[in-house]
Structure 1
Amino acid sequence: MDALSLYDLNALVRRSLEQCLPDEYWVQAELSEVRMHPATGHCYVEFVQKDPRGNNLVAKARGVIWSNVFRLLRPYFEESTGQAFEAGIKVLVQVSVSFHELYGFSLTVHDIDPTYTLGDMARRRREILKQLEDEGVLTLNKELPMPVLPRRVAVISSPTAAGYGDFRHQLEHNPRGYAFQVTLFAAAMQGDRVEASILEALDAINGRAEQFDVVVIIRGGGATSDLSCFDTYLLAAACAQFPLPIITGIGHERDDTVLDSVAHVRVKTPTAAAEYLIARMDEAADRLNDLVVRLHEGVTARLEQERRRLYQCRNRIPASAVRRVSSAKLELLTARKDLHRSVETLLARHRHRLELLRQRLADASPEKLLARGYSLTLKDGRAVKDASRLHEGDVLVTQVHKGTLTSIVKNIK
């Protein structure tokens, strides 16, 4: 029987594939592995397709992007999507099918459609946001009140990032000289450590939450392709439920990340985050100045009102005093007349009583009694009231109305 060598069989497969699949095809797949050869510049990838129901692999193929294509394709993809060309993303690529007798089946990538990956990223963001909404935490951080004076600022950033320096410079050189207290919590802003390091920083801030007014997460100078690290559920859930308002200034203008969507305030750059804080201080200062002006105007108006009232009172005092004096004079005259009448009436009543008493005294006087025929007998100048106290031979003087009689006691009965 005729037998083929393995090489002959593989060559037959190669010719058959070249005849059957001569064109280029757009293929949807997920990158499970991305390896760049530093010497040649070629990129070797592995494409997979998973069963959506069980997440099991249903297809897999090796792929290669030659250096002349990869030099153009990678920056185009990353600039368009803001996503690094790395394992774990879904792509739509234009490929040609090839088969090598030694290396076997592979796909050669010629082009890529970033809009497909953008759609998948947007879908993933929507799923995270929907999950947060279903859990009731999506808008919790937005509902926190922003402090009137956000002076004590906890910053999550890379200490060497240019954006952090811009942020500090903007705050320290604000036109009105506001004094901000900035505390840095260092974290990675690109690479695989972004999620874990930001979560660690949030935990550290939460342990000292009473020392801060706001949290600012800033990133400046990094590649746009590093933004996907801010689109994770754990990071979004932690920020959405954080007890302090979070401001993000991640340094991009294309689309909001999931982190931007749950933060209290989202600005474009670290400098814009500093400008936002300064603007809040300006608003408070302007309100305070307005209150000072209104207080000054109110006090001035009240003083003027009281001055006019005092002037009117001063003008009314002479006429009021004249009326009061005239009224007092009239009252005094009336009181004097009433007093005079009262005194006269009282004196007349007492004169009448005195006259009656005088009459009674006159009627009871010894002269009146003697005139009526009574007599007064005296012994030694004292009236005799009891005859038993007399003795024979006592000399008595008897006074009658007209004259006196002297007698000697001879007999006592």
Structure 2
Amino acid sequence: MKLRDLTVSEATNYISRLFSSDPILNACSVIGELSGLKRYPSGHVYFSVVDEHSKLPCVMFRSDAERFAGLRLRDGDRVKLQGRVAVYQREGRYQMICHNIARDGAGELFQKFLLLKEALSKRGYFAAERKKDLPEIRRIGVITSKVGAAIEDFTSILARRNRLIQIELYPSLVQGSEAARQIIAGIAYFNRVQSVDAIVITRGGGSIEDLSCFNDAELAEAIYHSELPIVSAVGHEVDFTIADFVADLRAATPSAAAELISVPLSESEREMKRLLSDMNGALKNRVSALTTQLNNNHPTNLLSAVRRLVEYNKLQASATFDRAAGAIEAAIKDRRQSVEQHYKTIFLQNPERLLGRGYCYAKDKDGKLISTVRAVECGDDISLFMSDGKLVTTVKEVIK
């Protein structure tokens, strides 16, 4: 059979007609992970959806993209697309032309998280003025799994910094459908028995599904109404949950929680050793002087002198110990005030507080912070970071 010679245009046009006539490709739904998301000044949005084996180029034209601008999608989001697969003849490649897009799986959880966060914020559950200060911690209640990295990290850091603080563990699930109920029971237990000075709720990092129990409305109520101060130390530094926002104090990790609740013993121990050394030297000098005096006295006065020596040393020892205890207590108090002042300073300077008031910061495509307009040019892709996510945009004009 003689082959027909086709031009490039004829070949791509024929392939395009095949795609258009295929009922599956002409109206399909695809689930995958967003990659390479770019929004252009024209309003069109170009991206790909990927899985572990393949990549599908996609485009959503402005008329459709405007309807989904509020989703604030970003690379890595798992999405469900609806549209058709067609041939872009000028480039000779196929792409999916999307008409609808929605988060899939974890995206629904994230939307529920945002709705609950907004509702609780309006009710004042995150207000700084209602948060309780941490007292001096002598005994801490910890709600977490009895095995795992979280409790191991917490106990090891606490033992290194201040071994005098005792830990009372309330074992609880920290993942799954029963986890929130067990954590709530732990909060109720510690508030009922009043055996600890504060509560730490903690676990290691995980996906939004893994941490979903800490975004539970009933758990938020339990934290809010707790009489005891609560420290939330859930996930890694980048993880935020509803429990973090409601708690009296948020620690980025279990290790950070141990550091926040403890004052190091090193300074107090050094001061105690110095005072005890001074006391020991003073007693030795006094005993030596009195021994010399006794040796020079008449034997008949020996008993009276011994009694006076014993009585004097008792008074001296009592006074010295009182001074030592007072000095140690003052040192610990000063150290605690210093720690509290540092915490307040850090809290006030926390950039997240500024982001929550409408500010944002920008980074270039390499992740470098942009501090001046001279660092960008028209057409550059930049990211704007806000309190609840980031925007990826293209610079249209630079005004100096």
Calculate the TM-score normalised by the size of structure 2.
0.43
Q: Which has the larger radius of gyration?
A: 1
TM-score (normalised: structure 1): 0.42
